[in-house]
Amino acid sequence: MATPDEPGRADEAPDAGEVAEGAPAVGSVLARRQRWLTWGAAVVALLCVAVLGLSTLVRSPAQVAAETEAPERTVLTAVVEQRLLEDTVVLRGTVVQTRPVEIRPAAVFEAERMVVTGVRVKAGQRLAKGAVVAEVSGRPVVVLPGAFPAYRDIRPGARGKDVAQLQAALRSLGYRVATETVFGPSTKAALTRLYDALGYPVPTTGEADAQAVRAARAQVTAAERALRQAQAVATPAPGTSSVADAKQALTQAKADLAALVARTGPMLPMGEVAFVPRFPARVVKVDAVVGQEVTGTLAVLAVGDVVAVGTLAGADPQGVVVDLPVQIRAGESGETLPGKVVAVGEAAAAMAAAPGGSGESGDSSGGTVPTGYAVAVAGDAQLDEALVGQGVRLSIVVASSAQPVLVVPVAAVSAGADSQATVTVVAGADEQRTVPVTVGRTGDGYVEVSAPAGQLQAGDRVVVGQR
Q: pLDDT tens for residues 218-234?
A: 999 999 999 998 888 86
**Predicted pLDDT at 17:** 43
Is the CB of residue 339 less than 8 Å from the CB of residue 310? Answer: no
447: exposed, middle or buried (Cβ count in 10 Å: 0-12, 13-18, 19+) = buried
**292 CB-side CA count, 13 A:** 11
Angle of helix 185-198 versus helix 161-172 axis, rounded to 10: 50
**Predicted pLDDT at 234:** 63
**Predicted pLDDT at 232:** 87
> CA-CA distance, 214 to 225, in Å (whole number)?
17
Q: pLDDT tens for residues 13-41?
A: 444 444 444 445 556 667 777 777 777 77
**Predicted pLDDT at 1:** 44
**Predicted pLDDT at 333:** 77
> CA-CA distance, 266 to 202, in Å (whole number)?
6
**DSSP single-letter state for residue 323:** T
**Predicted pLDDT at 238:** 64
- Quote the radius of gyration of the chain (alpha carbons, Å): 51
| DSSP string for 119-174 | E---TTPEEPTT-EEEEETTEEEEEEE-SSPP-S-B-TT--SHHHHHHHHHHHHTT
- Type of residue at 126: R
Query: Across the strands, what pairs with 322?
Result: none
| Alpha-carbon separation of residue 120 from 46, 127, 141 (angstroms) | 89, 10, 10
CATH architecture under which domain 76-85+402-466 falls: Beta Barrel (2.40)
The 3-state DSSP class for residue 431 equals coil
| Alpha-carbon separation of residue 275 from 148, 284, 301, 433 (angstroms) | 7, 17, 11, 74
CATH architecture under which domain 87-98+304-400 falls: Beta Barrel (2.40)
| Alpha-carbon separation of residue 361 from 125, 131, 183, 329 (angstroms) | 9, 19, 39, 21
**Predicted pLDDT at 414:** 92
- The structure's pTM equals 0.62
Which residue in 228, 260, 267 sits closest to 246, CA to CA? 228
**Predicted pLDDT at 235:** 66
- pLDDT tens-digit profile, the chain (467 residues): 444 444 444 444 444 444 444 445 556 667 777 777 777 777 777 777 666 666 666 666 666 555 566 556 688 999 999 999 989 999 999 999 888 899 998 888 888 899 999 999 999 899 999 999 999 999 999 999 999 999 999 999 999 999 999 999 999 999 999 999 999 999 999 999 999 999 999 999 999 999 999 999 999 999 999 999 888 886 666 656 688 999 999 999 999 999 999 999 999 999 999 999 999 899 989 999 999 999 899 999 998 889 999 999 888 898 999 999 999 998 777 889 999 999 999 999 988 775 544 444 334 344 555 678 999 999 999 898 888 888 999 999 998 888 999 999 999 999 888 889 999 999 877 788 999 999 998 888 999 999 999 899 999 999 998 87
CA 142 to chain centre: 28
